Amino acid sequence: MSDAQPVKKSSRIQLRNRNLILEAALEVFSKHGYRGATLDQIAEASGLSKPNILYYFTGKKNIHVTLLNQLMDTWLAPLRAMNPEGEPLEELLKYVHEKLEMAREFPRESRLFANEILQGAPRMRPHLEGALRPLVDEKAGLIQDWMQMGKLAETDPRHLIFSIWATTQHYADFEAQVQVLMGEKPVYDEARKHLDRMFRRLLTP
């Protein structure tokens, strides 16, 4: 007979509180970075006490890593979805469009990730090495194959991926600067048109 104890399911209140903490922490981390964020700030933003937060998480690092783990799944999904059987140029432009839309929909998550990378990825490195690197290797190989078949113009596949990240996530990571420089213009609609033209011209054989 097994001595294992059944895993107790979280109550609705526990799930609600956990989500409140993560939502508050996302706001705090995206504004102040990991080093500038405090549990007191997260407690105030969530409307929960600091001891209550420590009931659900062991500390600031535990909350931060939980958010980063959730983010990686979302962040990598569009790259994973790139279809080897699809039309190469349209697959890459679809990826550009999806990354730009993620910058529009998830600016705080983008800044959370950027802050972690700027600090040298101390909490994220295992995911970069274990999840991101193999995926980029795979997709860079696919893009290289498309280029060798003459379906895309020649360029370095990895630098192409980096350029897509830089030109799309910029609108989230430097949102304040973009707003000042663009004013009331429909930033993302115009950005989509611009990036589509730019990458289409770069990649058309």
The mean pLDDT value for 38-61 works out to 93
Instruction: Give the Cα separation of 32 and 41 in Å (integer).
Output: 10
**Higher per-residue pLDDT: 177 or 185:** 177
> Pseudo-torsion of CA 87, 201, 160, 172, nearest 10°?
-100
Q: What is the pLDDT of residues 71-120, one digit of tens each?
A: 888 889 999 999 999 999 999 999 999 999 999 999 998 988 888 888 88
Q: CB neighbours (10 Å) of residue 89?
A: 17
Average pLDDT over residues 154-174: 96
Say what the pTM is: 0.83
Domain annotation for the chain: domains and CATH numbers = 10-57 (1.10.10.60), 60-203 (1.10.357.10)
User: What pLDDT digit, counting tens, does each position of 110-150 carry?
Assistant: 988 888 888 888 888 887 888 899 999 999 999 999 999 99
